Amino acid sequence: MPKFTTQSGEIYFEHRGARANPRVLFIHGLGCQLVQWPESLLEGIVHAGYCAVLLDNRDAGLSTGPEEPPPSVEALLMAQDNPSALRASYTLSDMAADVVALLDHLGQGGAHVIGLSMGGMISQRLAIEHPERVYSLTSIMSSTGNPDLPGPTDETIGGLIQAIATADTETAIAQSIQTAKIFGGPHYDSAVHGIGRFARTAVERAHRPDGVTRQLAAILTAEDRRADLAKMDVPTLVIHGNADPLVPVEAGRDTADAIPGAEYLEIDKLGHDLPEPVIGQIVEAITSHIRAVDVSR
């Protein structure tokens, strides 16, 4: 299997498309695995002439994570108001360093980077701390860590907690589908059109509730990135839906405002999901953004 070892352990990755083509690196969200990217999105990028590189973030899928116990649900809930009371096993910067290690392993000086949700946060840290490795950044349904932004709805928080708490496989699959439907919002049924379609595949491949909890701790303890983003010189596209119940649309607008020269695409009726009806629009926006970048800069 395609794995390599970092200081944090083993990271699993895959390729789509010709290896000689420019690399586009996909970084997924909280608890998500590389099998939860829609094939239509990957194929759209590959057909545009790029090589897609996918990884399981540390503590998810087939990548390893720390052995220490995760924080309790109670500690996570308290950290929403007092992040300093929570100790995270690792940071978003540590996860960005895993991406740098992957690029080194592949012998790549850099890549076009696409980050979704938590992956967008990791991508932002990657662009802040290792700008020479990021040819372009696409931040999808993510946030700057601005503490003044609106938070998720109570129903959304409840769905996330239930997803963490489930243990046996069939219950975990059912809860994963239900959580995806909540995150996806009212306009597109995630179990039919979105990431909810991949619940069984993902849970049967690797069910890692402790990893989800530790990743969530990394998010909750992350600092506000706006000041660092304001100094960034990386071509950036921000994509967000105006029906996102987990990371409200204000977070997308805030991200675009924070990054100098960022393009912003707001998609009507899109929740916190990648439903098939909007994939074409997303692929077109990303490929247009990437093609406009001079990699020799």
Query: How far from 137 is each of 12, 15, 91, 209, CA to CA, in Å?
Result: 22, 19, 20, 29
Give the residues across from 32 on adjacent strands: none
Tell me the pTM. 0.95
Mean pLDDT of 159-166: 71
105 burial level (CB within 10 Å; 0-12, 13-18, 19+): middle
At residue 214, the 3 state secondary structure works out as: helix
pLDDT for the residue numbered 261: 97
Q: Is the pLDDT confidence value at 61 over 80?
A: yes
Phi-psi region of 141 (alpha: psi -120 to 50; beta: other; left: phi over 0): left
Under the banding of pLDDT at 50, 70 and 90, the label for residue 253 is very high
Q: Is the pLDDT confidence value at 166 over 80?
A: no
Pick the range with the lowest mean pLDDT from 12-26, 74-88, 193-207.
74-88
What does the pLDDT look like over 270-293, one tens digit per residue? 999 999 999 999 999 999 999 999
Under the banding of pLDDT at 50, 70 and 90, the label for residue 297 is very low
Q: Select, from the ranges 5-9, 170-174, 274-278, the one with the highest average predicted confidence (pLDDT).
A: 274-278
Q: Is the pLDDT confidence value at 79 over 80?
A: no
Kindly report the number of other CB atoms within 10 A of residue 134's CB atom.
Answer: 26
Q: Which residue in this structure is represented by tokens 């009371």?
A: 85
The type of residue at 279 is: I
Residue 207: half-sphere exposure toward Cβ, Cα within 13 Å: 18
Burial 69-91 (b: 16+ CB within 10 A, else e): ebbeeeebeebeeebeebebbbb
Instruction: Tabulate helix, strand, coil % of the chain (nearest 5).
Output: 45, 15, 40
Share of the chain above pLDDT 90, in %: 79
In the predicted model, what is the mean pLDDT of the chain?
93
Under the banding of pLDDT at 50, 70 and 90, the label for residue 148 is very high
Q: Of all helices (H) and strands (E), which one includes residue 264?
A: strand 263-267
